[in-house]
Each structure stands twice: as structure tokens, then as C-alpha cells.
Structure 1
Amino acid sequence: MNKAVFLDRDGVINEVLTKRVKFVNKPADLYFLPRVPEAIKKLNTYFDYIFVVTNQGGVGLGFMKEAQLQKIHDYMIAQLAKEGAIIHEAVYCPHKPKAGCACRKPSSKMIIDLAEKYNIDLGKSYMVGDTDTDIIAGKNAGAKGVFLGKDDPRADAIFPDLYSAVDWMIVDSQ
């Protein structure tokens, strides 16, 4: 079986709610956080797959169409690839917050669906996020939770940013 890292998007890979950008509604709004391409490239050498798993309620709320979201993800994946950092697939929940859908984190459906599709051993995989819903989704799927921020009591590890978390995940996964 394969091992993977599941990454939330906003606040893990790219800026959101900063001076430069409020929300990412078009490719020009996507700014990588420091050292993200380098972190993903390093993860690529130790993990079979790297995925993006993201709630994108802006689609359900009418701020963008799914086609526009796909352009953002295509752009993100292409820009990372230019740096040698590979994202194997980006999946999202397009529904409004509190819509009651099966896919929105903290539900683990997106993670479990990817695990089944790519033969992932969730016990040897990680969900990295900056909210409790990310950690809950990962833990409910059977993955370890890595929280980026100050504190989440459910997380297996806490780091200030993705790059800081990489070495811990690599060592822990061996």
C-alpha cells in the first residue's frame, strides 16, 4: 500500500485573509506561503502521493464557478510543478458551509475516496491543516493530523508552517 500527505489548501499552501489577498477566487489571487514548493518537493521524495483536500464554499455561495476553481487548481499545480513539487490530485467540496453535504470537512469522505482510488494506507499517512476541521477529517479517516498554527489538542504534531512540519512527517513515517 501507498502512503500519502493530504494538504488543506488555504492557509497551508497559499495565503488567505492577508493584506495581499482576502480569498482566492482567481489564479492571480494565489500566493504561495513561504517555502511551500520546497516543502512539497521534499515530501515527494518520501511519500507516494501528495493531495490537496479543500473546502471551497465560495462555489456554493456563488463567489466563483467550479470551472474557475478548477483553473485555480490547475494553475497551482502547474506553478508547483515548475519548482519540482508534484501534487497528484486536488479535490474539493464546493458546497456552502452548513449545507449538510457528505464531503465537507470535518467529514473524511474526500480523504477516504482518494485513499481507495490510490490504494493509500491511511495509518501511514498525514492530513495537514490549519483548522480543527482539517485535523478531525484526517483523524476520522485514520490518518495522523498535523496542525499548522498555535494549538489543536487533537493533532499528533503542531508546527508554524508546512516546511517546518516536513521533517517530522518523514521521520515519523519511517
Structure 2
Amino acid sequence: MKLVILDRDGTINADSDDYIKSPQEWEPLPGALEAIARMNHAGWHVAIASNQSGLGRGLFDVAALNAMHAKMHKLLAAHGGRVDAIFYCPHTPEDGCSCRKPLAGLFEQIGERFGVELKGVPVVGDGLRDMQAAAAAGCEPHLVLTGKGAEFRGCALPETFPPGTRVHEDLAAFAEHLVGRPAPRPQA
């Protein structure tokens, strides 16, 4: 199975320091929905792994989160795309959970759900925590220069990023890279 794991805020949709709390605030980044559809059409399954500490902070509830995701699904469908599963951590940093990125818990849950080995699975995100979680799970880290990643435009990544982190202008550029590369060989 060809699986790619995406971060949500700052990767697929615009991010906010005040959190994305409602469907009205959830706005896709230019080209992001088309990029997901392109990956789908090339045979890739897409899962989302997202820290959503706004839930734990009481800034929005699960109904609001579900409404945001319903909007995303509807807009994606209009572009011929889909997300196969959404995994999120509702905890705050103080909760000490194992699912909050930079830990690998969400990725491990995705691997279990899809029955896949995570080694080499591409992960796309806009921040250091996304890349650290990807590396911790044995995945292939890809940073997009949108959202929090915009601060790294035109400069080298700090050494805090996992070795081998690849950088892409945005999700559309990542999709171009992913669809254009040779398919992975099945493991014997």
C-alpha cells in the first residue's frame, strides 16, 4: 500500500497562532487540495496526523473539529481527492501523552490502522515537531515552506531537524516530487 501522512494546520490549511477553531476559520492553502487529489490519483492513500491541543485547552470541541473535517472532505471531493483517515492528539503539552508530536504515537496508530510498516513512509509537515515525529517513527520527513515552515525560506535548516529532511515549497511541490519518483519496490 502506498501511504503518505500529512500534517494539517500549516500544511493543508492556513494556520493561526490563535488556533483554527471553526469551519469558518478552516481555509485550504492554495493548491493543497489539488495536491492531495493528485496523490490520490497516483494511487496514494492519505492519512492526517495532527496535534489539536485546542481541544484540551477548551478552545473548541469535537463537534467543531468534526465540522472542520467535514468541510475539508467536501472541498477535497470537489477536486476529486480524499483523505482516508484523520488521527489527532487532543492533549496539551502538559498532559504528557505519547500521541502528541514530536512523539511517534499518532504515526504508530496510523501504521496499525493500515497494517503497514512505517519505515520509509513519507510524512509532510510544516514544523520541527512534524519532522521529529516522522523520524522517530522511521518515516521519511518532508518539510513544506508554508505555515511555520515559511521561516526557513531561503536558508538552511537548523541541525535540530532530522538528517535527510527534504524541503518543498508547498504541498503541491511535494506532490510533484512524490508522483514523479519511482514506486517503492515491494519488500521480500
TM-score normalised to structure 1 length? 0.89
- Which of the pair has more CA radius of gyration? 2
CA–CA distance in 1 between the matches of 2:182 and 2:103?
A: 25
Per the alignment, residue 10 of structure 1 pairs with: 9
Q: How many Å apart are 1:16 and its aligned residue?
A: 1.4
Question: What corresponds to 2:170 in structure 1?
Answer: 161
The residue aligned with 1:146 is: 142
Q: Report the CA distance between 1:17 and its aligned residue.
A: 2.8
Residue 42 (structure 1) aligned to one of 30, 34, 38: 38
Whether 2:101 is the aligned partner of 1:105: answer: yes
Deviations 1:32-55 (A, max 9, x none): 101011110111123441011100
Q: Contact 2:131–2:165 (CA<8 Å) still a contact in 1?
A: no
What are structure 1's unaligned runs of at least 5 residues? none
Q: Is the 8 A contact 1:128 1:146 kept in 2?
A: yes
Kindly indicate whether the alpha-carbon contact (under 8 Å) linking 1:3 and 1:124 is maintained by their aligned counterparts in 2.
no
Task: Say if 2:13 and 2:28, in contact at 8 Å, map to a contact too.
Answer: yes
Q: Output the aligned Cα RMSD.
A: 1.8
For residue 148 of structure 2, what is the aligned residue in structure 1? Answer: none
Distance of 1:89 and 1:59 partners within structure 2: 19
* Unpaired stretches in structure 2, ≥5 consecutive residues: 146-151
Q: How many aligned positions are there?
A: 170
User: How far has the Cα of 1:121 moved from its partner?
Assistant: 3.4
Q: Distance in 2 between matches of 1:111 and 1:38?
A: 24
Amino acid at match of 2:3: A
Deviation string, structure 1 residues 116-156 (Cα, Å, up to 9, x no partner): 11122323421100111101111111110001122364253
TM-score (ref. length: structure 2): 0.83
CA deviation string 1:96-128 (max 9, x = no partner): 123211110111111111111112232342110
> Identity rate of aligned residues, in percent?
29
